[in-house]
Structure 1
Amino acid sequence: MATRRKFLENIAISSIGVSLLSNPTSLLASPKEIYEGPMLRVAIMGLGSYGTRVAEAMQDCKKAKLVGVISGTPSKITDWQSKYGIPKKNCYNYENFDAIKDNDDIDAVYVITPNGLHCEQTIRVARAGKHVICEKPMGINAEEGQKMVDACKAANVKLLIGYRMHFEPKTVHVIQMRKDDKFGQPKFFQGQSGFVIGDPTQWRLDKELAGGGAMMDIGIYSINGARYILGEDPIWVTAQETKTDPVKFKEGVDETIQFQMGFPSGAVANCLSTYNMNNLDRFFMTGSKGWMEMKPSTGYGPIQGRTHKGELTQPHVTHQTLQMDGMAELIFNGKQPIVPVDGEEGVKDMKIIDAIFKAAKTGDKVEINI
């Protein structure tokens, strides 16, 4: 038995030796990279479903950390304190959060409240001397968006908009392909963004809080997507609105809008924004030398797509994790994503939305000056 054991040990040692000879660096495998740079300390304002999604994603961030909360619901604050280890001194409500100006533990506030509250809240955060990350759309119109940009500039703080797709690997790859002329001259973009919305009493169907309906919530993805896939800004829009349920979708709350955009190069886009149809999350673009298709194109789950070069195989990482780490790099090191996420970028989308609403209402072709 001892002889057999010795024989097996010799075989094992020999196998290890062969492995080392064939791969001499195997014993030198580097440990998981440890980040030692500055940490962006973030307070989340608005502890609803998307705020929760961001909080969960931030648990995997290397460069950003959840350290505070702002909410109008005391029970949510208590729950988040317990779940995320947030100290009481970093907890605020909507009346007293101006006091964050005296809190050195918070660098930035992520505003994730209804659209109609973004402008006032962003300006208050800026005046408190904190960087602002504001969920899109940044406001209910371009005028509000510009006020937010001006307030943050005056306070010398950053204003970033929650464009998570600007950090998503497959999306970034396609944008880089366009920049590298792999598609040739982009000619046509199609964006389909929509789902059937549920609870008719929710704030997304309240004009004062949402600023509109499907266009503000989901249509903005096709607007922004057309811009980063084509690589230019539109100069005109036309639009047509369809409403089948005026009880659920009251005056000023759009149910379905089809819209078309024209670009300086001659490229055109044809898009659909709706709260009345499912299975609509698709981008398509064709150029003079190639094409791309993404479906789903903006959903939270893994993005899927292909181009004339083949399937997109970049790994899926939770979008909000990449976004928050990317924004930390932007704030601390000035590292810009492939497409901007600043307030000016948000204002451009708001100007287009304003023009789409005008075109849908008047039936006219509306010129855009971005």
Structure 2
Amino acid sequence: MSNRRTFLKHSGLMVAASLLPFSSCLGNNRKEKLGVALVGLGYYSTDLLAPALQQTENCELRGIVTGSPEKIPVWQKRYGIKDANVYNYENMDQISNNPDIDVIYIVLPTGLHAEYAIKAAHTGKHVWCEKPMARTAEECQAIIDACNKNKVKLSIGYRMQHETNTQLISKWAKSKPYGEIEHVISEAGYNGGTINPWKLEKEMGGGAIYDMGVYAINAARYSTGMEPIAVTANRSTNRPEIFTEVDETTSFILEFPEGVRVDGKTSFGENLNNLQVTCKEGSYYLRPMQAYSGVSGRTSDGKILEPMRRNQQAKQMDDDALAILNNSKVLVPGMEGLKDIGIVEKINESALADGKRITF
């Protein structure tokens, strides 16, 4: 298994770039649109974030940070990115001098999030960090501290919290239109025949519980409006020859105050996409609950929860850009990511202790 050094080597980190950014600083005048630089040009940046940025109203793609020089001309041709807005992992600190770029979006493997989100914060630019926030709660706190120290905003890429039906479920956790919540089922996973190699590596933050489990964990929290008090968990695999370092499937039970229970599951071996909330006077569900589009559901009294038509990533980035432009609170701050990773750590602790009940 490769480690951080070999990952960066394979991504071309050691290839030095001679491109120099602008040297002027950001001004204090409000801008109409914010310039975003994507750090890491893998699948999520290439197929989802970059196209979504073309649909945003409050921000636009202006820069890239990559360790793969062969990708640079492709991105420049497709998106008109200036030479001065192209960086590698070694010189990305020079973004601090570039007035074109206001936000640095970390889209690297989870195990690299903390290192590069902290580097991004030290440039004085605002930081967007893809989910899961980091490998450990300690790393999450370090990112938060770096952003606070540099007085920049930090948003975590939980696109679902910007989706309209998800927001409705969150509101119902407080308003309780179907009575007190009693039980929740929260499941997220996919049957991955071919899995990105880094997602099989513990050091890189791989495993189903990190990649897909944070959807189920975050949904458990926003659908109940509470924080868990205890967890029991177990792991299983049908492919032990592949999953030697990380989990293929993790099932967990989260206990919440007032006797509320959440049965959760995440997997790289099963298609799971379900959030179901049972209340004292009715129930409702989202199926799918974390797809890139078509998130929809139904209530026990027949209400149809129609899917949001807008691109999720575009709405997420527009919302986060507005928080910067208006100097208002971000929808998904760093503490939200930290709380989920704290739960991930407790789930792993329980699973590795043969399902021992762990309290928070």
Q: Same fold (TM over 0.5)?
A: yes
How far did residue 265 of structure 1 move?
Answer: 2.6
Q: For residues 269-284 of structure 1, what are the structure 2 equivalents within 5 Å?
A: 269-278=262-271, 280-284=272-276
- In the alignment, the residues of structure 2 paired with residue 326 and residue 281 of structure 1 have an alpha-carbon distance, to the nearest angstrom, of 25
SS in 2 for 1:357: helix
Q: In the alignment, does 2:181 pair up with 1:186?
A: yes
Q: In the alignment, does 2:62 pair up with 1:67?
A: yes
Letter in 1 for 2:136: N
How far did residue 108 of structure 1 move?
Answer: 0.7
Per-residue CA distance 1:117-150 (angstroms, 9 max, x = gap): 1000011111111111000111111111111111
Which structure 2 segments of 5+ residues have no match?
A: 1-29
Q: TM-score, normalised by structure 2?
A: 0.88
Q: Percent identity?
A: 40
Letter in 2 for 1:255: E
Question: 1:20 maps to what in 2?
Answer: none
Q: In the alignment, does 2:251 pair up with 1:258?
A: yes
Which structure 1 segments of 5+ residues have no match?
A: 1-35
Q: In the alignment, does 2:360 pair up with 1:361?
A: no
Question: 1:346 maps to what in 2?
Answer: 337
Letter in 2 for 1:139: A
Tell which structure's C-alpha radius of gyration is larger: 1
Residues 116 and 208, structure 1, Cα contact 8 Å, conserved in 2? yes
Q: CA RMSD in A?
A: 1.5
- In the alignment, the residues of structure 2 paired with residue 175 and residue 267 of structure 1 have an alpha-carbon distance, to the nearest angstrom, of 16
Question: 1:8 maps to what in 2?
Answer: none
How far did residue 105 of structure 1 move?
Answer: 1.0
SS in 1 for 2:257: coil
Residues 178 and 184, structure 1, Cα contact 8 Å, conserved in 2? no
Question: 2:281 maps to what in 1?
Answer: 289
Q: TM-score, normalised by structure 1?
A: 0.85
- In the alignment, the residues of structure 1 paired with residue 281 and residue 103 of structure 2 have an alpha-carbon distance, to the nearest angstrom, of 43
How far did residue 78 of structure 1 move?
Answer: 1.5
Per-residue CA distance 1:301-340 (angstroms, 9 max, x = gap): 2112111341112532110011001001112224457xx4
Letter in 1 for 2:281: K
Per-residue CA distance 1:334-365 (angstroms, 9 max, x = gap): 4457xx41111110001000000000011311
Q: In the alignment, does 2:215 pair up with 1:224?
A: no
Question: 2:22 maps to what in 1?
Answer: none
Question: 1:243 maps to what in 2?
Answer: 237
Which stretch of structure 1 is more off in the superposition, 301-310 or 221-230?
A: 301-310
- In the alignment, the residues of structure 2 paired with residue 329 and residue 236 of structure 1 have an alpha-carbon distance, to the nearest angstrom, of 37
Q: In the alignment, does 2:307 pair up with 1:307?
A: no
Match of 2:126 among 118, 126, 131: 131
- In the alignment, the residues of structure 1 paired with residue 221 and residue 349 of structure 2 have an alpha-carbon distance, to the nearest angstrom, of 20
Structure 1: which 4+ aligned runs deviate by more than 3 Å?
A: 334-337
Question: 1:3 maps to what in 2?
Answer: none
SS in 1 for 2:105: strand
Distance 1:84 1:201, change over 3 A: closer
SS in 2 for 1:207: coil
SS in 1 for 2:259: coil
- In the alignment, the residues of structure 1 paired with residue 181 and residue 137 of structure 2 have an alpha-carbon distance, to the nearest angstrom, of 27
Question: 1:323 maps to what in 2?
Answer: 316
- In the alignment, the residues of structure 1 paired with residue 352 and residue 33 of structure 2 have an alpha-carbon distance, to the nearest angstrom, of 47
Residues 46 and 70, structure 1, Cα contact 8 Å, conserved in 2? yes
Question: 1:27 maps to what in 2?
Answer: none
- In the alignment, the residues of structure 2 paired with residue 327 and residue 106 of structure 1 have an alpha-carbon distance, to the nearest angstrom, of 15
Match of 1:168 among 163, 172, 180: 163
Residues 37 and 63, structure 1, Cα contact 8 Å, conserved in 2? no
Residues 110 and 206, structure 2, Cα contact 8 Å, conserved in 1? no
- In the alignment, the residues of structure 1 paired with residue 257 and residue 136 of structure 2 have an alpha-carbon distance, to the nearest angstrom, of 24
Q: In the alignment, does 2:42 pair up with 1:48?
A: yes
How far did residue 83 of structure 1 move?
Answer: 0.5
Question: 2:11 maps to what in 1?
Answer: none
Question: 1:147 maps to what in 2?
Answer: 142
- In the alignment, the residues of structure 1 paired with residue 328 and residue 136 of structure 2 have an alpha-carbon distance, to the nearest angstrom, of 28
Aligned length: 328
Question: 1:213 maps to what in 2?
Answer: 207
Residues 169 and 316, structure 1, Cα contact 8 Å, conserved in 2? no
- In the alignment, the residues of structure 2 paired with residue 114 and residue 315 of structure 1 have an alpha-carbon distance, to the nearest angstrom, of 28
Residues 295 and 308, structure 2, Cα contact 8 Å, conserved in 1? no
Distance 1:257 1:264, change over 3 A: same
